[in-house]
Amino acid sequence: MTTTDRIVRVRLSSVLLPLDTPISDAKVLTGRQKPMTEVALLFAEIDTADGLHGLGFGYSKRAGGRGQYAHAREIAAELLGEDPSDIARLWEKLVWAGASVGRSGLSTQAIAALDIALWDLKARRAGLPLAKLLGAYRDSVRCYNTSGGFLHASLDEVLANATAAVGRGIGGIKIKFGHPDARVDLARVKAVRDKLGEDVPLMVDANQQWDRPTAQRLGRALEEYALTWIEEPLDAYDHAGHAALAASLDTPIATGEMLTSVAEHAELIRAGAADIIQPDAPRIGGITPFLRLAALADHHRLQLAPHFAMEIHLHLAAAYPQEPWVEHFEWLEPLFNERLEIRDGRMIVPDRPGLGLTLSDRVPGWTADSCEFAS
């Protein structure tokens, strides 16, 4: 049966969400970046003639959020009058509307919010959670917390945060690495492992701060802690270096969050640079390209642990054939009325249609600009 429904309205909002505490990882301690004080979000809301509604979002940390919003404003009207079910074709149409600025990075990140809104709308039309629309393999996903382990936090704070997270039912703990003094890194991971014991999955994330010899040396030093993975030990585009580490260490290597297209991830996979791939749907252009990448990753028998945006990635991870992980960050919770349930080390896929999200009444206070296109 064909549908006669059509998109009649697209609304975009540029939202600047303040963080309670300035956030520092290795990129800050080594002078590459300043502490992060806010998350910039691009929200897209799509309405159809039949009264259906879809909500999607993308984000940027530090610079880039306003640029995403500006690009989305230029192309959003291309959706008016279109059948919202034709998501892959609409993704291509939006890409070609801004073809001169490329098919990766900021240009496709601007498309991500629109693409995610279309998938949310499609699942709501079907009356299904997005995970069920895609074809879920499970109704919950292993989850680990990252927000409590940043380098701006003292060791005592990291230990308290980790203990509290496990107490709330979160399954694993990731702490940030890449301190200018490697002895500080090693002391932190030893203390966390000693505190949590051997049974709690533990990961470390160096945020691209090591050179190859340092990564090899510290990777060997970390073997005794039975880590679930070492994340981004090298520059995100050093596929050969990551591949060498993956081949030489017992500890799995995870990377991919900084890549901004399926093509970039394909090069990473081709090089054998990761045991665990960490794509970010808003960064690579939305759910449509994420699904293409997930099929490629599964073909190569890679584990999956999507980066950030648990509100989206929970559904996508639930639809991945192999047992994945999803990353717990509470930062975006003030934006939504709903909360994701966590129990026995796993994040539960909500039974609400679509992503299962509605915007909270606090969002207008953080909205820097908005615009609307209507037919």
The residues assigned a catalytic role are 176, 307
Q: What is the Cα–Cα distance from 160 to 145, expressed in whole angstroms?
A: 13
Measured from the Cβ of residue 365, the count of other Cβ atoms closer than 10 Å reads 8
pLDDT (average), residues 216-237: 97
The candidate with the shortest Cα–Cα distance to 143, out of 357, 284, 341, 350, is 341
74-106 pLDDT per residue, tens: 999 999 999 999 999 999 999 999 878 888 888
The candidate with the shortest Cα–Cα distance to 112, out of 52, 59, 163, is 59
Our CA dihedral for 132, 356, 138, 149, rounded to 10 degrees, sits at: 150
Structure tokens at 122: 């499609």
Residue 96: phi, psi to the nearest 5?
-70, -25
Structure tokens at 49: 């003639």
**Could you give all domains of the chain from N- to C-terminal order, each with its CATH number?**
7-127+361-374 (3.30.390.10), 131-348 (3.20.20.120)
Contact 43, 86 (CB under 8 A): no
Q: What is the Cα–Cα distance from 91 to 111, expressed in whole angstroms?
A: 7
Averaged pLDDT score across all residues of the chain = 95
pLDDT (average), residues 344-362: 98
Cα 63 to Cα 43, 67, 263: the distances in Å are 17, 8, 23
Structure tokens at 348: 């539960």
243 Cβ contact partners less than 8 Å away, ≥ 6 residues apart: 271, 272, 273
Cα 147 to Cα 92, 205, 249, 307: the distances in Å are 35, 12, 26, 12
Give the pLDDT band of residue 33 (cuts 50, 70, 90): confident
pTM listed for this prediction: 0.96
Q: What is the Cα–Cα distance from 286 to 95, expressed in whole angstroms?
A: 12
Q: Half-sphere exposure of residue 243, counting CA atoms within 13 Å on the CB side?
A: 11
Reply yes or no on whether the pLDDT at 147 is more than 60: yes
Specify the pLDDT at position 204.
97
Residue 2: phi, psi to the nearest 5?
-90, 155
